């Protein structure tokens, strides 16, 4: 599996009263990793949405392994585990930059949709860009 990496520093706004990364923030960080990966693939979210293509989250898994703390440098690893014409599954790892400690692992499954029109088959051009990451 080919991994995309995105660096980040844990922000104060993303922590709880104890300075620990709030559990909901991990999902937001996964989204950030996914958005950066798509942009680097040549499929920025704003262009997908301009084309009327949306990725609806239909499944999410989360494993909290160790706490992240305010100010720590982390990186988000994102990969495509499954790619079909109507569905894509991303997997994530969030790790500390210093020491490579695994903080979080998880996945999201998304159906491709055209807004209120329901699910769609991803157009061939878009599918080939995602596939290039899977095949590389």
To the query of whether residue 16 is one of the catalytic residues in this protein, the response is yes
Q: CB pairs under 8 A, 24+ apart, for 112-115? A: 112/53, 112/54, 112/55, 112/56, 112/85, 112/86, 112/87, 112/88, 113/53, 113/54, 113/55, 113/56, 114/52, 114/53, 114/54, 115/52, 115/54
Q: Give me the residues paired with residue 7 across strands.
A: 75
Candidate list 7, 16, 40, 59, residue with the active-site label: 16
Active centre residues (catalytic): 16
């Amino acid at each position: 599996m080919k991994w995309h990496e995105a660096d980040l520093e844990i922000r104060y706004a993303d922590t709880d009263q104890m300075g620990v990364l709030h559990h909901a923030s991990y999902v937001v960080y996964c989204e950030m990793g996914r958005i950066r990966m798509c942009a680097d693939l040549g499929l920025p979210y704003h262009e997908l949405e301009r084309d009327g293509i949306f990725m609806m989250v239909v499944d999410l898994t989360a494993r909290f392994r160790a706490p992240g703390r305010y100010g720590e440098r982390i990186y988000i690893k994102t990969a495509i585990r499954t790619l079909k014409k109507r569905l894509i599954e991303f997997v994530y790892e969030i790790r500390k930059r210093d020491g490579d400690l695994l903080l979080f692992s998880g996945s999201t499954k998304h159906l491709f949709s055209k807004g209120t029109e329901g699910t769609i088959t991803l157009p061939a051009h878009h599918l080939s860009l995602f596939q290039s990451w899977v095949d590389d």
